[in-house]
Amino acid sequence: MKIRLRILTILSLLLWGTYIQAQQDTFRLDNDSASVANSINVEVLKDGKSVRISWEPPRETGEIIVARSSSIIDNPEKCYISDSLGKFPSGVGNSVNQIYDYNLKPGTYYYAVILAHHVRKKDVKLAANRNYTTIPIVIENNPPPQTNNNYPPANTTNNFPPANTNQPPPEEQKYLSDNARVTDISVKREGQYLRISWEPYPKGIQGETIYTIYKSAEPMSSMSLMRKAEKLAEVSHPENSFLDQDLTKSQTLYYGVSVKQGLKEVLPLVQNQSFIRQFYVFEQDKRKPPKESDEVTNPQFAYDEMHVKDLKATSVDGGVRLDWKAPDRADENTIYSIYQAIKPLSGGVSTFLGGNVKKLGEVGHPDTNVMVRMKPYSGAIYFGVTVKRGDLEDFTLTLDESFVAIGSGPAGPSEDNSNNQTADNNEKPKNDSNNNNNGNQDQNNQNNQNNQQNNQNGQNDQRQPLIVEQEEPSNEEIDRVLKDTYWKNEYGEAVKQLAAYASSNDIDIRGKAKFFLGMSFYRKGEYNKALKFFVQKDTKNYNPERTEFWTKQCLARIGGGRR
């Protein structure tokens, strides 16, 4: 009897332990699956060159990334190097659970759907046929023929339109007119978010017509400006609104909605019809409303307290001298940041986020001049000075006030600016002798002003401005650019930001920049441009084996008729 009791006790303990372990495994599996999408499905459209990707969103909310690769994306490493089709909201209002991948080249494709924040944390979970595909999508070399010029075929049969005159006949439904646009676009605030609404395209077809929502810091009135716009999401007809929740600062925004059907997309190029301008204030701004060209700046300080005045640039031996007048109520906590760019700095925050602006250094009040040491440059260079108070910095700069140009730019310094340089920075009244306007005494007046400034500073010799060195870029700097652009599959932005490093005096930096410029163009499908970088000596010196491999890949693509 005792032996039987012991055996039963041992068996009970084993069964209990197994049950507890199973419960823990189930709980762990349930937590892991919360971040995994379900039922991913990829369907080839009738044109034979485009696909529709759909999925059931994961229980965990966030932004979804749709990845594409020529091999199965069955591990995180493959996921990180796959092509990204964009980020889309998931599990929130106006979440996206299907997108379209248009105009694919002949080949084999696999797709995956993963949450963006797990990609950043590098803890992506993958489950076959749930959030990544295992069945290849094959795009043939000869897709179904399409009619030229996107015009509908002639109606040679007795197929009459249906009774609803707003619906085109079936053979015309897949063709978009050049005037196919949404109308009456509007933006309405909902708490801290903005809802974009529009009147749908009258001839839109459910499941076929797609509305793409764009956001930009500039008007969408031309094709060149449209290239700067950010794609927010795609929604299917008859959906007619989208909630933008990615708003963290006060700014001027432009929203646009395009109409896409099949391979054709009609972009938002008509203001107040298919794109609209909106002032967004993150916190209530107590100052006056912004002007047409201004962005909303920080409400805690007045405009004149966050901007320098009368910025002047003077070309001198070895570089450029910058002088400015202090903002209102400047104190020892006021910091001036000096920036350099090859384009005007009038675009507000978006200009500084584009990767084309370089911060040269900072100086503290009461210093209001710096010397920038730099090599000769034939084109126009722009210099700007921002005001920083604590953690607040205002980037809305104005030409000839807080940013200037030297060289062949429109705001290059003249002789008058150079002659008035010290006078503009002199904060004390001039002596009576300095009020003499006789042209023969200009030089003496200038010397008197210089002496007066020297006396104010308690120095026997003329005070020299602080010196800001224009340093060569470091390897850490280019790695940061690659991390923010190339490794996030933002190849267009990578090309823009890496271009500045391709002319570095450091052969290693120069070679690395050219190599990844070639890789960026390759990923964009521009193989001829990529090849121009891979065949350069600097690129080969950087990494001979990888350069040779990608050179052959470019030649194979070009020889195969793929650009």
Residue 30 has pLDDT above 90, yes or no: no
Q: Which residue has the higher pLDDT, 482 or 414?
A: 482
Sheet containing 241-244: order of strands? 183-190, 193-199, 241-244
Q: How far apart are CA 130 and CA 38, in angstroms?
A: 4
How many beta carbons lie within 10 A of that of residue 524, not counting itself?
16
Residue 85 has pLDDT above 90, yes or no: no
pLDDT band at 384; cut points 50, 70, 90: very high
**Two tokens, residue 420:** 């008035």
Q: How far apart are CA 423 and CA 430, in angstroms?
A: 9
The dihedral built from the CA positions of residue 406, 409, 414 and 420, taken in this order, carries a sign that is negative
Q: Which of 151-160, 447-456, 518-527 has the highest mean pLDDT?
A: 518-527
Encode pLDDT of 206-218 as tens digits. Answer: 778 888 899 998 8
Torsion angle defined by CA atoms of residues 232, 517, 113 and 125, in that order, rounded to the nearest 10 degrees = -130
Query: What pLDDT does 165 receive?
Result: 40
Q: Which residue has the tokens 């998931």?
A: 90
How many beta carbons lie within 10 A of that of residue 8, not counting itself?
10
Q: Report the percent of the chain where pLDDT is more than 90.
A: 11
Distances (CA, A) of 58 to 37, 53, 89, 120, 357: 4, 15, 11, 17, 39
Helices (H), 329-414: 349-353
**What's the mean pLDDT in 325-330?**
91
Q: For the chain, what is the radius of gyration of the CA atoms?
A: 31
Query: What pLDDT does 24 receive?
Result: 60
Q: How far apart are CA 380 and CA 52, in angstroms?
A: 47
For the chain, domains (ranges, CATH) are 34-139 (2.60.40.10), 183-280 (2.60.40.10), 305-406 (2.60.40.10), 475-560 (1.25.40)
DSSP β-bridge partners for residue 384:
339, 403
DSSP β-bridge partners for residue 107:
139
Encode pLDDT of 231-256 as tens digits. Answer: 888 888 888 888 887 787 888 899 99
Q: Is the peptide bond before 238 cis (omega within 30 degrees of 0)?
A: yes
**At 282, which amino acid appears?**
F
**At 460, which amino acid appears?**
N
DSSP β-bridge partners for residue 235:
211
Torsion angle defined by CA atoms of residues 376, 380, 385 and 391, in that order, rounded to the nearest 10 degrees = -100
Q: Which of 111, 139, 144, 125 is nearest to 42 (CA)?
A: 111
Q: How far apart are CA 329 and CA 389, in angstroms?
A: 11
pLDDT band at 324; cut points 50, 70, 90: very high
Statement: the pTM of the whole predicted model exceeds 0.75: no
162: left (phi over 0), alpha (psi -120 to 50) or beta: beta
Residue 519 has pLDDT above 90, yes or no: yes
Q: How far apart are CA 12 and CA 8, in angstroms?
A: 6
Q: How far apart are CA 440 and CA 509, in angstroms?
A: 53
pLDDT band at 309; cut points 50, 70, 90: very high
Q: How far apart are CA 491 and CA 483, in angstroms?
A: 11
